[in-house]
Structure 1
Amino acid sequence: MQVDFYQLSRDPVDQVLPAIAARVLSLGERLLVVAADDAQLGRISTGLWEGPPESFLAHGRAGEGAESIQPVLLSQDCDAANGARHVAIADGLWRDEALNFERAFYFFDAASVDGARESWRALSRRDGVMPRFWRQDGRKWVQGP
C-alpha cells in the first residue's frame, strides 16, 4: 500500500486536490476524500466544481444519497461507500482506516506537520506500506528525500 505525503506550503488542499482527483479518475479509479470539518469539505467541493468545463469532476457528499455511484465521494468518515480504492486525507489527521485502501494521499500543512512526522515514522515501520514525500516547488510537486 502506498501512502503519499503532500506538504502544503503554497496552496490550500481545496486548490490542490482537484488535480489529484482528476489523475485518479483518469486511471479509471474512484476516490474517497476525508476531512472531519464539514466547512473544509464544502471548500473542497467548490474546488472540484470551479475548474474549466472540460475538467469537471463529478462528486457527491456522504449522507446526500447515491454515494455508491460517485466517482469522488466527500466524507467525514474513512468509509468508501463509493467503492473507492484510493483515499485522500484532506485535513492533516491520519486515520489508520486509510491502510485498507490501495493508495492514500495524506495532505498536511504547517499546522499539522508534527502529526504528519509522527505518522511518517509509524508508517515507515509497517510491513507493506510504502510512504513517499512530496513538496510544492512553485506550481509543481517534487518528490522529497
Structure 2
Amino acid sequence: MTQIGFYHLTRTSVTEALPQLLSRTLASGQKAAVWCTSKALLDDVDKALWKVSDPTWLPHGSKGVLLPERQPIWLTTEEDTPNNAPFLFLLESRACENCAQFERVFDLFDGHDEQAVAAARTRWSSLKTAGHELAYWRQEDKGWKRAR
C-alpha cells in the first residue's frame, strides 16, 4: 500500500513549507506532482518555487510547458502526472481517489483552519479504512516531528 503522510502546518504557510519537502524529494532522486484545488494557489506555489535558492533551485512546470514528462516537479489543478512522479503532494484539502498509483503521498493541511483540520481527519479515516500506511507529522520549531 501507499505511504501517506499528513503534514499539519502550524508554523508556516504551505508555500513556505512545500519547497523544503520538495527539495528533499528531488535530493532523493524522485519526481513529484503537486495537486492544488485552485489556480490561485498553483500560481502562488509556482512563484514560491522560482524564488527558492537555498538549498537549491526547484525546477518545475505546469500545463502548457514543453516536455511535461521531463519536469521533476509537476504543478496542476487536475489529476495528471505526465512526469510519472512516484510522490504526490496534496494541497487545499485535495483528496486522492487513486493513491495506490503513488509510492508516497504528502497531505499538507493548515492547522489554523478548523475546516481543513476536520477535512484531514475525514481523509485519514477513509485512507486508514482502505489499508494505507499512514503517518502524522506536526510542524515544530525546527522541522517536523512524527507523532506515534
Q: Given that residues 94 and 116 in structure 1 are in contact (C-alpha distance below 8 angstroms), is that contact kept between their aligned partners in structure 2?
A: no
Percent of aligned positions that are identical? 28
Aligned residue number for residue 98 of structure 1: 99
TM-score, normalised with respect to structure 1: 0.92
Aligned residue number for residue 136 of structure 1: 139
Q: 1:15 and 1:99 mapped to 2: Cα distance?
A: 28
Shift, 1:47, TM fit: 1.4
Q: Secondary structure at the match of 2:98?
A: helix
TM-score, normalised with respect to structure 2: 0.90
Q: 1:14 and 1:135 mapped to 2: Cα distance?
A: 16
Structure 1: state its 5+ residue gaps.
Answer: none
User: Per-residue CA shift, 1:84-112, capped at 9, x if unaligned?
Assistant: 01100022222223332111000111241
Q: 1:47 and 1:97 mapped to 2: Cα distance?
A: 28
Aligned residue number for residue 72 of structure 1: 73
Aligned residue number for residue 4 of structure 1: 5
Q: Given that residues 93 and 115 in structure 1 are in contact (C-alpha distance below 8 angstroms), is that contact kept between their aligned partners in structure 2?
A: no
Q: Secondary structure at the match of 2:135?
A: strand
1:49 has 2:50 as partner: yes
Query: Number of residue pairs matched?
Result: 144
Give the RMSD, CA atoms, in angstroms: 1.4
